[in-house]
Structure 1
Amino acid sequence: MKNTNPVANTKIYLATSFFNEEQRARIPQALAQLEANPTVGVVHQPFDFQYKDARVDSDPAGVFGSLEWQIATYNNDLNAVGTSDVCVALYDMDQIDEGICMEIGMFVALHKPIVLLPFTKKDKSAYEANLMLARGVTTWLEPNDFSPLKDFNFNHPMAQPFPPFKVF
């Protein structure tokens, strides 16, 4: 018989934008829910693994934004996607980020599940999701609600492929 008990062995790739304070503030909220989840073993948050510790606000080696940093960052993220089991994407509907779209696309190409938590400031009826994103995501959560991340079964991720938005 298949084991249905929770096992903390799933590696999550936490994809998120990092361009403003509101986006950065979402990370600890998501991490708190994922860390309390009994099916999560590891959460890879790319901003915790920056090449030569280069960040927008701190660049000890003076490489942030350089071609060297770009290539290393891309390869580090690509490797982390390859070794992760599931993508949890914190997707900002108000400020589309091509980087997170690329990460989602890599998970689609590798046939790995994507759990997308959208963030909106307007009523969800005011948004439309692009069909490529809408059909690529395995599980859509309700906008702005971190709580499902705590109880989601990442050992056996079930699809909920219908976005809470119109699709075009």
Structure 2
Amino acid sequence: MAQIYLAAPFFSDEQIDRVKRVEAALDANPTVTDYYSPRLHQETEHEQFTSKWAAEVFKRDTQNVTNADILLSIIDYRDNDADSGTAFEQGMAWVQQKPIIVLNELQFPVNLMLSESLTAYFTDAKHLVTYDFHTTPTHAFTGELF
């Protein structure tokens, strides 16, 4: 059984829609038994966006990256750069030698630190329905780098 951590920004309606479509793809994939989506775990006993809330969410999310077997990273861009939280989580997964699956539906140019750390690269969430998360086959990055 592989635990997947879904690293993704969810700050706009478009990003939330993308994350929800990826969650649905994971739900439909027969090789996926469990995943953790931080979008669904923002509640704490503390008021949102306070330092105590941030500390609790940070601890929970980083622990879930550490506990995961695979990281699925939705790279989405804000101000022409990858979401810093998602990039941080992808870096954690790479240091822990976990397979990293990247989705870049908007097909923005990708920072080489993200492209060089990935195991498989996709530009359409529909590919996540059939991807084998048990064996995590390589799917090379194709696209523009920066």
TM more than 0.5: yes
Q: Distance in 1 between matches of 2:113 and 2:23?
A: 27
Query: Which amino acid counterpart does residue 119 of structure 1 have in structure 2?
Result: E
Helix, strand or coil for the counterpart of 1:34?
helix
Helix, strand or coil for the counterpart of 1:129?
coil
Query: Which amino acid counterpart does residue 163 of structure 1 have in structure 2?
Result: F
Question: In the alignment, what sits opposite 2:91?
Answer: 105
Distance 1:29 1:108, change over 3 A: same
The answer to whether the aligner puts 1:166 opposite 2:144 as a matched pair is yes
User: How do residues 121-140 of structure 1 correspond to structure 2 at under 5 angstroms?
Assistant: 124=107, 127-140=108-121
Cα shift at 1:137: 1.2
Task: Percent identity, please.
Answer: 28
Cα shift at 1:28: 2.0
Question: In the alignment, what sits opposite 2:57?
Answer: 73
Question: In the alignment, what sits opposite 1:152?
Answer: 131
Runs of 4+ in 1 over 2 A off after TM superposition: 93-96
Cα shift at 1:49: 1.8
Aligned 8 A contact 2:4 2:35 in 1: yes
Q: Which has the greater radius of gyration? A: 1
Q: CA RMSD in A?
A: 1.6
Q: Which runs of 5+ in 1 are unaligned?
A: 1-8, 54-60
Aligned length: 144
- 1:49 aligned residue (35, 38, 41): 41
Helix, strand or coil for the counterpart of 2:114?
helix
Q: Which runs of 5+ in 2 are unaligned?
A: none
- TM-score for both structures, normalised by structure 2: 0.90
User: How do residues 13-24 of structure 1 correspond to structure 2 at under 5 angstroms?
Assistant: 13-24=5-16
